[in-house]
Amino acid sequence: MTQTVGELRAAVSGAVFAPEDDGYDTARRLWNAEHVREPAVIAQVHSAEDVQAAVRYAVAEGLEIAVRGGGHSIAGLSSVDGGLMIELSRLNQVTVDPEARRARVGGGALLRDLDAATQEHGLAVPAGLIGHTGVGGLTLGGGMGWLTRMHGLTIDNLESVQLVTADGSIVRAAEDENADLFWAVRGGGGNFGVVTEFEFRLHQVGPIVNFGLAFWGQDQGAELLRAAREVIPTLPREVNVVIAALNAPPAPFVPEEHRFRPGFALVVVGFGSPEQHAEAVARLQETLPPLFQVVTPMPYVAVQQLLDEANGPGMYHYEKGAYLETLSDEAIDVYTSQQVHKTSPMSAAMIYHLDEGYLETDDDATSFGGQRSERYAMFVIATTPVPEALGAERAWVRTLWDAIQPYAINIGSYVNGMAEPDAARIRASYGDKYERLVELKRKYDPDNVFHRNQNINPAAIGS
């Protein structure tokens, strides 16, 4: 294979790195420091044609392919030992048509690239909560964030994609072209090709939104969540709330005596009037006053990057998630009581309420694994600064996940949050859509060229 790297260099316009080359270590680095991979070669692509050449090269050489956008795969699937990494960071252009409210976004763009370009025109697309996440990985799995309550998932706002398929073809997929493939990529992850461009519908947002964070002590968690579950579903769709079990940050707005203290927070973001937001914050606090709070107008781009530093690269992570039909007393007791067992102040457990805009796309319209019924999505995330501490935090995540299962919808979860994407959980996550996804995988990638993902195996038995 070493003799043929020159062929790849000649075929792509971007840089190609072998292990001995300067730039190799930077290009292969992943967000989750637990995973250190050593690709045989890295292609830093600049165009769809570069991706096409890289895919054809890897298939001809029998090399396993990994695709790196933002590198945020919790399972470390963005790289590979001994194979070819297709590194998309130079495919990060964002072009906005403010009149049509459309954005064309390169497959290697980060959320902060997308937010910065669209907010120049007071527009946005629903996306995640961390600015250095890749648009590609987030979108292909679904895409949840602050705007989901107003405008649905990221995939619900996707107009078309350009992608390179396993046979090296560059194709467009949309409702009017390759519609079956368009259905599959909206929730089916990276199973069907390397997306080199996304086209999104945009919505008027900001540029200033209303932000609030209120914090309660660890002993107040159960009472807080029982009160919050009554209020959150009744709030206007312009207000979104995330429930978080976390340690208070050492931020200027946090009183010194509460910094690093474990507890529970309600993070409230409003896209309507300040008065509407203030009323929502007041309702969430009327049963149980918080230990401290901050309520302030804030640029939307700043809200989108609030978690960036705390979730920067170089940390060690593990995650599991679940869908809950309701926040029952029993589920609340599990969620709150298990928080005392975490050992890292960087770890957190978050709950999103999915309703309103999330429900407005038909369940069968996309391949997204979570059914479009009102529900809560829970994410339990271990984060440590050193690898030696991750074992205890991983055990905490698994224990909480096991304990919540009697109250979960099934063993499946949001595919983007799977640190261990085993076949049974993937099948459970997609439910009745799994069989159709297998058939489409057989059509577009029968040899499972793209399998470093939440994999839909074309050879799945019984499909």
60: domain CATH number is 3.30.43.10
Domain span at residue 290 reads 208-417
Residues 355 and 293 in one domain: yes
The reply to whether 234 and 197 lie within a common domain is no
Digit-coded pLDDT (tens) for 400-412: 999 999 999 987 7
**For residue range 222-251, what is the model confidence (pLDDT) as tens digits?**
999 999 999 999 999 999 999 999 999 998
d(CA 329, CA 222): 8
Spatial distance between the Cα atoms of 68 and 89, rounded to a whole number of angstroms: 8
Q: Which of 87, 113, 141 is the last residue of a domain?
A: 87
Confidence of residue 1 (pLDDT cuts 50, 70, 90): low
b or e along 427-438 (b: 16 or more beta carbons within 10 Å of the residue's beta carbon)?
A: bbbbeebbebbb
Same-domain pairing of 274 and 293: yes
Plot region of 187 (φ>0 → left; ψ -120 to 50 → alpha; else → beta): left
Burial class (CB in 10 A: 0-12, 13-18, 19+), 175: exposed
Is 462 inside any structural domain? no
17 belongs to a structural domain: yes
Between CA 406 and CA 151 the distance in angstroms is 31
* Whether 263 and 154 share a structural domain: no
Residues 27 and 82 in one domain: yes
Q: Is residue 131 predicted with pLDDT exceeding 60?
A: yes
- Domain assignment present for 437: no
Q: Is residue 122 part of a domain?
A: yes
Q: Residue 71 above 70 pLDDT?
A: yes
* Residues 105 and 183 reside in one and the same domain: yes
| Same-domain status, 214 and 200 | no
Q: Is the pLDDT confidence value at 3 over 80?
A: no
Residue 299: what pLDDT? 98
Q: How far apart are CA 346 and CA 381, in angstroms?
A: 9
- Same structural domain for residues 222 and 265? yes
Mean pLDDT of the chain: 96
Report the pLDDT averaged over residues 297-319: 95
| Residue 47: closest CA among 1, 85, 11, 96 | 11
| Assigned domain for 438 exists | no
Q: 20-48: per-residue pLDDT in tens?
A: 999 999 999 999 999 999 999 999 999 99
Work out whether strand 84-87 and strand 41-44 pair parallel, antiparallel, or are unpaired. parallel
Same domain, 130 and 99: yes
Could you tell me if 114 and 261 lie in one domain? no
295 in the same domain as 410: yes
Gap between the Cα atoms of 423 and 420, Å rounded: 9
Overall domain count for the chain: 3
> What is the dihedral angle through the alpha carbons of 401, 405, 409, 414, rounded to the nearest 10 degrees?
20
Based on the domain organization, do 199 and 265 belong to the same domain?
A: no
Q: Measuring CA to CA, how many Å separate 163 from each of 47, 96, 249, 315, 318? A: 11, 20, 41, 31, 30
pLDDT band of residue 463 (cuts 50, 70, 90) is: very low
pLDDT band at 360 (very low <50, low <70, confident <90, very high): very high
Structural domain contains residue 450? no
- Output the pLDDT for position 410: 83
**Amino acid (1-letter code) at residue 79:** S
Determine, yes or no, domain membership for 65.
yes
What is the pLDDT at residue 366?
98
- Report the DSSP beta bridge partners of residue 199: 104, 160
**For 172-202, how does the pLDDT look when each residue is reduced to its tens digit (9 = 90+)?**
999 999 999 999 999 999 999 999 999 999 9
- Assigned domain for 463 exists: no
Last residue of a domain, one of 173, 204, 235: 204
* 119: CATH: 3.30.465.10
Q: What is the pTM of this model?
A: 0.96
Among residues 87, 118, 140, the one where a domain terminates is: 87
CATH of the domain at 256: 3.40.462.20
